[in-house]
Structure 1
Amino acid sequence: MAPRLPAHGRLVASGALARPASSAHGAAAWLTLIACTTPAAMTIFIGGSKFTPGRVAICLLLFPALFELFRKGRHLILSDLLVCLTSVWIVAATFSADPESWSSGFALVVEFLGGYIVARAFFFGRPALEAFIGALKFVTIVVIALAALEHLTQHIVTYNLVAALWGLPSFGPEYRYGMLRAFSTFPHPILYGTFCVVAGAVFLYSERSLPGRVLYTGGCFFGCVLAVSSAPLMSFMIVLAVYFYDRLLRRYPWRWYLLVTVSIVLFAVVFAVANKPVSWIVSHLTLDPSTGYFRVATWDSAFYYIGLSPYVGYGFEAYGEVGDFFGNASVDSVWLTLALRFGIPAIVFLFLANVAAFYRSGEGAGDRRRDPYMSRMRTAFTLVLVVFMFAGLTVHYWNNIWMLWGICVGVRGSLQEHYLAAARSAVSQRRGRSWPAHALGLGQPTMVGRPR
């Protein structure tokens, strides 16, 4: 990728970094985000296969995305391999443990891997990312407005309307602390709340003005409150705490090393002191003590059954013994659910894929000067992935939120690729400037700046 020098003396990268977003990138952003926030109950059947709006969007965009991803100037990164390994293991484990449910395992792969590929292909570079965030603003406003409508009417409006049109059972209103729990366009309040946290984390860093941050992030927090769900509310508090920590210590590049070190030390203390450290952590991630007790019992039961089939899990079949209440109860954790269905390797690959999408992509002062916006967005989507992983301890993701997770990993992977490409371009520029001077023994050349 050769650098070029514009007239005003500032070095910019050519090739993939310099390509503007096309109308296809904007269309992909709108299609994927609308599909992610359209009720998954709006299914259609084609040749016996079930297609949710999200799966339809992936099928429409997958082949153009592959063409875009493998064009000249793009590079594969480690998270690409790990997401593919996660998907391959899910399919292989399903064929091994529960071959009759292969289509269910394949559907999960279509949603997550497909969302990842679409994001890696179409949301690369600043113009494409800005198009994605612009679409996210619109769909977030609509989703929160529908949740507010449910509180005003005290009815589950959107889902029950879709259920009536599709001939599905309707949901009755669900209350916690005297407040209705909003569903909006999602199949459960906890998924709607998770969406609000993800959007809020993005808007905290994407908005350039204080009024914009207050408006969009405050709206997302309001939407999160309407869900009345423990994990999203706690996750939002973590997002705000990390943001203010980042703002307070933004001049110090070691701030993230300090935060990670302190977090590791705290977890080490919990694991050293508590008899059941994982159960202790899970029990303190809920607002309702009875919910915490139920989840602790669920985790203890899940650990037992995972130990009986640690490599390939049980597929989509029931795994609990007859009469074992917690062995047959719903498992409210994406990590436990995936381990029970597809084995421990599946969650190891998934965790590593998330980490690989942001690991060692932190910027230096020079990178912040090159493009502060892209620097902020790397922080934002790193925080988004941390939210998905943390909230997943007490939340199981399915349908549109599962697909959104794959999209966010893909966006962060594209930011990673963009950062690495910019770093390579900067090295090439420095070598290009210094080589003639060193060869002639003239020292370092001086770049001519903007005319005055």
Structure 2
Amino acid sequence: MTTVTTNSAARPGALSASIGITVDSARRLHPIVWLYLIFIVLPVGFFVGTLSLSLLRILLLFTTVPLMIGVLTGRYGRVWPVDWLFLLHICWAMVAVAVNNPDRAVENIGSAGIEFLGGYAIARAYIRTRADFFALVRVFALLVVLLLPLALLESQTDVAIVLKAILDLGLDAPVEVDMDPRMGLFRAQTVFAHPIHYGLFCSAAFSLVYVGMKDMMTPMARYLMSCAVLTGVFLSLSSGALLSAILQIGLIGWAYVFRNVTKRWHMLAGICVLMYVTVDLLSNRTPIKVFMSYATFSAHTAYYRAIIFEWGMINVWDNPVFGLGLRRWIRPGYMKSGSVDNFWLLMTMRYGIPGFILLALGYLDALFRVGRRALTPGSPESQIRLAWMICFVGLSFTLATVHIWTSIYSFVFFLLGSGLWLATADSDSAPEPVAEAARGPVYSRQAVPVHTRGEAVAPARRAEAKPAYSRRHEAAPRPAPDEAAPVETPATAGSGSRAELSEQAGPNERRTRGSARFSRFDPGHNR
């Protein structure tokens, strides 16, 4: 007997489902997560005396402490070393700033602390399942797409419309960065403090969409969304963001080419170590300087970043324990700007080696803990982990070429926390619904109904049923008027169907079947 299944995308509302942004999935996000994501891209701020507040900081002021207490007491799942390491990092940063700048310790660490811990705690508390993560990626991708027209306009006019509108209203917002064009285009910053932040925001979405949403979007929807993400990365005209995107593409390609090799990531790690040693032996520069020289648009920028790294390390070794805090760092007189285009280096310069170690250990603990979790290959959890890991490999290298502050600083560690549920995930749960392109009915020769991944649809009325024919039965000649049609018995029933669930037909009856459908802060200026 033949069973008919209809693709879930053929149902009403399947178009929005194929794009991957549905009301149902959005409802899965906690309201605090919704507010957090909206305030990331809505940089409205104001001053209370000398204190700069934004909508994001106000939200984090009310949520950071209770959520962090919940994380550390196990209310939101298992407590990991990264939870305590990040808290200790902020505590050490407070001590370092108090030693170097006692008059600025409370204000500075208060803002940096809630941005860092607040974003992380929100993710740990409210992104704890596969459904939560899928809903997050959908909304993240939607935000990237909504910002794209603003970026296209800004690349031609050099006007950040949203920031200009907020400032015209007398409110506080990041100032528009005045930078020379690149490749005939102005650099787009849209709603962020710097074009690099916009580029980093877009690049973080690439692997999450292309790899993580493999079973949640149609291929065409994923390709279009990924192209939109890469367009946003390009319009930032930032070498750091482009580096992240290129690395992610390379890692995705490696994973695909060597998908049947169990030790493919060990192979890649070995190749990277070999390349590092080779460059160290053959070059008169350190491998880090060689890397930074190629991770820029111009030789001048590469040379300047090499000087920043050299003098930055001099400041680190001069102040190894408590760092510089917010004091000016020592550098050559020709270096007019105090900007440090290296997040990891600036954290070490500000808070000393202990501050960096606590941060790096927490970061690595999260990555290795998720990476070592045993998951079934090909399962949705395995795909999400691959996407999340590739995203953070790209971000890790990018943070060596840029500095992050304010909303994007918080967002990076929000993304880090959003993947920690994978450290306790298993692959036994049923997969999420797949949104596929609409197509015709799918026929199966199995008598048992074939369930697809969506929810079951009520069976069709019997009146709509059509005759079902097995391919192995040819239409028999109609008997002559004086002949009686033979009665089909269980012994002589057609064997072309794999299971016989319908009743045997009588002399003047035809077998029919019912048609059932199932759906299976603070810039890096240390002056």
> What is the TM-score when the length of structure 2 is the normalising length?
0.70
Q: Distance in 1 between matches of 2:179 and 2:301?
A: 19
**Is 2:121 the partner of 1:117?**
yes
**Is 2:261 the partner of 1:252?**
yes
Deviation, structure 1 residue 329: 2.7
Partner residue in 2 for 1:409 = 416
Partner residue in 2 for 1:166 = 170
Partner residue in 1 for 2:219 = 210
Q: Distance in 1 between matches of 2:66 and 2:138?
A: 22
* Shift in alpha-carbon separation, 1:336–1:363, aligned structure 2, 3 A: closer
Deviation, structure 1 residue 239: 0.4
Partner residue in 1 for 2:33 = 29
Query: What does 1:327-346 align with in structure 2 at a 5 Å threshold?
Result: 329-346=338-355
Q: Distance in 1 between matches of 2:364 and 2:76?
A: 24
Q: Distance in 2 between matches of 1:72 and 1:213?
A: 35
Partner residue in 2 for 1:265 = 274
Deviation, structure 1 residue 173: 6.0
Q: Distance in 2 between matches of 1:188 and 1:211?
A: 32
8 A Cα contact 1:231 1:394, kept in partner: yes
2:328 to 310, 315, 318: 318
Partner residue in 2 for 1:175 = 181
Partner residue in 2 for 1:439 = none
Q: Which amino acid is 1:286 matched to? A: T
1:76 to 75, 79, 95: 79
Deviations 1:77-121 (A, max 9, x none): 122122122212211111112222212123112111111111111
Partner residue in 1 for 2:508 = none
* Shift in alpha-carbon separation, 1:154–1:94, aligned structure 2, 3 A: closer
2:376 to 367, 372, 383: 367
1:52 to 51, 54, 72: 54
Q: Which amino acid is 1:406 matched to? A: F
Deviation, structure 1 residue 171: 4.4
* Shift in alpha-carbon separation, 1:360–1:74, aligned structure 2, 3 A: closer
**Is 2:169 the partner of 1:148?**
no
Deviation, structure 1 residue 33: 1.5
Higher helix share: 1
2:301 to 277, 283, 291: 291
Deviation, structure 1 residue 184: 0.8
* Shift in alpha-carbon separation, 1:28–1:21, aligned structure 2, 3 A: farther
Partner residue in 1 for 2:396 = 389
* Shift in alpha-carbon separation, 1:75–1:167, aligned structure 2, 3 A: closer
**Is 2:355 the partner of 1:355?**
no
1:300 to 301, 304, 310: 310
Unaligned runs of at least 5 residues, structure 2: 1-23, 430-450, 452-498, 500-527
8 A Cα contact 1:231 1:286, kept in partner: yes
Q: Distance in 1 between matches of 2:139 and 2:69?
A: 23
1:101 to 104, 109, 112: 104
Q: Distance in 2 between matches of 1:315 and 1:222?
A: 38
Deviation, structure 1 residue 338: 1.1
Unaligned runs of at least 5 residues, structure 1: 1-19, 427-449
Q: Which runs of 4+ in 1 moved over 6 A?
A: none
Q: Distance in 2 between matches of 1:72 and 1:402?
A: 25
Deviation, structure 1 residue 325: 3.3
How many correspondences in the alignment?
400
**Is 2:387 the partner of 1:380?**
yes
* Shift in alpha-carbon separation, 1:250–1:172, aligned structure 2, 3 A: same
Q: Distance in 1 between matches of 2:290 and 2:65?
A: 45
8 A Cα contact 2:370 2:420, kept in partner: no
* Shift in alpha-carbon separation, 1:275–1:345, aligned structure 2, 3 A: farther
8 A Cα contact 2:375 2:381, kept in partner: no
Deviations 1:141-180 (A, max 9, x none): 1222211121243423222222332366654464112211
Partner residue in 1 for 2:290 = 280
8 A Cα contact 1:79 1:413, kept in partner: no
8 A Cα contact 1:239 1:383, kept in partner: yes
* Shift in alpha-carbon separation, 1:48–1:155, aligned structure 2, 3 A: closer
- State the percentage of identical aligned residues: 23
Deviation, structure 1 residue 225: 0.8
The structure that has the greater radius of gyration is: 2
Q: Distance in 2 between matches of 1:334 and 1:202?
A: 23
Deviations 1:307-338 (A, max 9, x none): 110121111121226x6333853111111211
Partner residue in 1 for 2:206 = 200
8 A Cα contact 2:46 2:54, kept in partner: yes
Deviation, structure 1 residue 218: 0.9
8 A Cα contact 1:83 1:349, kept in partner: yes
> What is the TM-score when the length of structure 1 is the normalising length?
0.81
Partner residue in 2 for 1:129 = 133
* Shift in alpha-carbon separation, 1:126–1:68, aligned structure 2, 3 A: farther
Deviation, structure 1 residue 72: 5.5
**Is 2:89 the partner of 1:86?**
yes
Deviation, structure 1 residue 54: 2.3
Q: Distance in 1 between matches of 2:26 and 2:213?
A: 22
Partner residue in 1 for 2:238 = 229
- RMSD (CA atoms): 2.8
